[in-house]
Amino acid sequence: MEDYTSTFLALNSLWKEGKKPEFTRLMQESLSTACDPYKLVSVCIKLSPDLFKNRSSGMPANIIIELMSFLGKGNYHKYEHCLHEAFQVDMFQVAVRQKNVGLMRLFVKAFQLERIKVLLLPHIQEMMRQGQLKEVATLATLLNLQDEFSTEDLIVPLFLQDRLSLADEFLLTSPRHQKEILAFIDSIIGKQVNINDLHKTYKIKDPKKVKSSKMLCNTVAKLLKKFDLDVSICPHMQKHRARGALRYIFYKYYIEKGIQIQAFQSLIDDALKESPHLGPDLMHLFDEYHDLEAAVPYARKLQLQPDDIPKRLKEVISASPHLADGHMDAASDKQLEEEECWDEGRLNFYSLNVPLEEVVIVTSVEEFTKCMSVLTESPLIAIDSEWKPTFGIGSAEQAALLQMATQSRAFLLDLVALQPLLEVPHWACIGQLFSNPKITKIGYGIKGDFKILAKLHSEVKKGFANAKNVVDLDQIKGILIEDYPDIFPHSSSNYKGLTDLVYRCFGLPLDKTEQFSNWAARPLMKSQLRYATMDVVCLIDIHTFLDKKAQELNIEDWQNIKPKKGKEKVKKDRTIKKQIPMTNEDVQAKVMNREPILAADLQVICDTMVQGLAKKLRCCGIDAEALETGESCDKCIEYYEKEKRIVLTKGSAYDRLSKFIPSSFIYKVQKESANQQVEEIINVFNVKVTTKDIFARCPKCNSASYLFVPSRIIRALKENTSEKSDISMTDSDTDNWVQCEGGEVNLSSGCTRQGIPVVVAGIADAIISKTETFYVCAQCGKCYWDGSHYKRIINSTLSDIVQGSSNEALQGE
């Protein structure tokens, strides 16, 4: 046998000195000359001083990566005879001592341990008996041994110990276990669980979660969504949530008094239709809220057993047989009488200024066509939608009404009636309305409406995806309150949402009585129609009001207003972002396998706990978004679902987010300082950072696009901006453009073609004199140049993680 100790000593010396290119070259040379490359790797791994430091970018990991690279060059079959079972078992024993899943994955793949999984199975079963559940779940997944482990023995203990996230990959690749763990959790919902017995067996971490039906239901709902399974496989969760929904309807009606009688009855009727088992619960709720007379019609209609009817209700039924068929008729008649009057709104609320004859209820194809012809000719359209509350049970929310208004008319599209009638061209009309840049669309929280309406048809979804000239008054309200509070004549502290905005503008709130209503029931009540019309017409009124006030206060382009300097949350411009060579699928695979990944290919989102980390990662060329101060950590879930970004967080936020995001795509940062955190992320995710990645992204806004601007232009811009404080574009500026690599700059206004001011005020004249080219961020206008800051980063801050060489260097102004 060859002695590979000398090879290891040479490799170790290069590794300690940080000479990674030389390390790679020597490793490949040694592998190509070795009689047994596997033996060489084994020796070097075992002698590595950081073997059990669990670093996916440490020396052992890099040795294995070099082996895989060598074998991938057509050498698999040549050295296959070296990969015997005894050697593989030996490597398995080293692998199981690794706490780093990515490193363990490398061992399994490089030494083809799946080929001897039957031989390894007893070892893994022994690990399970010793309570190493995390390691067992990982190895079972990597070796494709899921069928050898029962849900009861492996997954249930992890769930009861509040460690189910450790089995994410296991469950994602095993549909049988998905259904079985869901069946187990569902089976204990609403039941008396003997915590003491379970604790002795499983060492339950949080008994409250096992005893709380609400928490169990939430867990089931998240797993159903994650695994894309039908809710019908969890009947106990459905029943529990149906009872909760019914109780909430009673609370809204009797305590908050936020539901009209007709809506109350309609929601109860629908609940009984969807969940017939709710009859006894309904009787007890009427008893609890001391409205026994209202319960009598339901008791007769549902033909309940005597044991399902409370004693007091039985007495009322016997004493008042005339109530059996009443169904709250007297109250209903009074309600209907009140609804007959369209024009008389409730006192002390903002009133509707559109007469009934100007409100078109669209229920046919002919009416739809006429409606679209009017809307496509209007320069301004307000949009809102309504749907029946689902309480988290049954099918997802479905839009029942789409309201659109111009400055003179309002249209209520009855989607319940229209859906069976409309064809592809009709749906395309709605989509084109939203993608038409010539029509301004206004809404409040309009993304929520888009999300629900997109389910109507693929053509509608396509239109929303390409929506242009959309104004969300919800976002604009926050900016105006913060930066231009004088635009509102009234202040508000008691209202929320659209009602708050209406009050700030007009001094009266909206009447939201019908907000919680059964919008899927037909026919719609006049009170519902009035509410739906008000919700969309008030948007037109607000737009007119703000337009006038903005002119009085000289607030330019208020519809597209941005927060003042220092407050803006910059979003990436996908149109100017450099092309990424890897597909999303390739990147996701590398992340899950903790395989080496280029800095330019990694996408992360930093929550508010690690905001400073985002800027540091951008300095390394990593696409790093960050939540704004005050934003909920739940926004990270959206980033993961939409862009498959890795979520970086700290503290308790990790415990919450890890319930929604696979373990491969969320990481709990351990270090405290931002510089230490950068090195931690680079190592954990095995990121390859080269000198060309340094400052490849703007640390301020995360853009990857720059304009290369000569120093003479920077000097001219600085002289111009010092002469005039207002650098907004004027008619005389239109011809004063100069072409630079990557874009154009206007010498008079100091802006790029995208209207971004080039930030030159802080650049010293001495810097301009000795610098040939400046790099201007195309998204925020910040200037960078070749300087000493780059060298300091390479030689000190990031010296341990930067590889390669490049002549590119940027210095921030």
Given this model, what pLDDT does residue 727 score? 35
What average pLDDT does the segment 689-693 reach? 82
Contact status, residue 430 vs residue 460, Cβ threshold 8 Å: yes
Residue 570, pLDDT > 50, answer no
Given this model, what pLDDT does residue 733 score? 44
Contact status, residue 43 vs residue 35, Cβ threshold 8 Å: no
Residue 579, pLDDT > 50, answer no
Please report, for residues 132, 387, 454, 461, the alpha-carbon distance to residue 449 in angstroms, rounded to integers and kept in the order given.
47, 10, 8, 12
CA distance linking residue 784 with residue 771, whole number of Å: 10
Average pLDDT of the chain to the nearest whole number: 84
Given this model, what pLDDT does residue 585 score? 56
Residue 347, pLDDT > 80, answer no
Contact status, residue 672 vs residue 612, Cβ threshold 8 Å: no
CA distance linking residue 404 with residue 359, whole number of Å: 10
CA distance linking residue 135 with residue 101, whole number of Å: 9
- The tokens for 35 are 């009689």
Given this model, what pLDDT does residue 793 score? 60
Query: Of the ranges 7-11, 41-45, 341-345, 533-537, which one carries the lowest mean pLDDT score?
Result: 341-345
Residue 751, pLDDT > 70, answer yes
What average pLDDT does the segment 294-315 reach? 90
Residue 448, pLDDT > 80, answer yes
What residues contact residue 247 under an 8 Å CB cut-off, 6+ apart? 281, 285
Residue 334, pLDDT > 80, answer no
Instruction: Tell me what percent of the residues of the chain surpass a pLDDT of 90.
Output: 50
What average pLDDT does the segment 189-210 reach? 69
pLDDT digits (tens, 9 = 90+) for 491-519: 876 788 899 999 999 999 998 888 888 99
Residue 302, pLDDT > 80, answer yes
CA distance linking residue 68 with residue 239, whole number of Å: 53
Residue 72, Cβ density class (10 Å: 0-12 exposed, 13-18 middle, ≥19 buried) = exposed
User: Best-predicted range by mean pLDDT among 228-237, 336-345, 650-659?
Assistant: 228-237
Query: Of the ranges 197-211, 233-247, 251-265, 601-615, which one carries the lowest mean pLDDT score?
Result: 197-211
Query: Of the ranges 194-203, 620-629, 659-668, which one carries the lowest mean pLDDT score?
Result: 194-203
Q: What is the DSSP letter of 154?
A: I
Give backbone dihedrals phi and psi of 773, rounded to 5 degrees, phi first: -135, 140
Given this model, what pLDDT does residue 735 score? 54
SS3 802: strand
Q: What amino acid is encoded at 543 in this protein?
A: H
What average pLDDT does the segment 136-155 reach? 94
- If one compares 352 and 110, the residue with the highest pLDDT of the two is 110
What average pLDDT does the segment 750-766 reach? 85
What average pLDDT does the segment 730-750 reach? 72
523: cis peptide before it, omega within 30°? Answer: yes
Given this model, what pLDDT does residue 215 score? 86
Given this model, what pLDDT does residue 756 score? 86
Given this model, what pLDDT does residue 52 score? 82
- Dihedral (Cα; 731, 735, 738, 739), 10-degree rounding: 110
What stretches of 130-258 show up as alpha helix (H) in DSSP?
Answer: 133-142, 156-160, 168-172, 175-187, 195-202, 207-211, 213-227, 235-250
Any idea what the Cα angle at residue 690 is, between residues 689 and 695, rounded to 5°?
85
What residues contact residue 764 under an 8 Å CB cut-off, 6+ apart? none
- Indicate whether this model's pTM tops 0.95: no
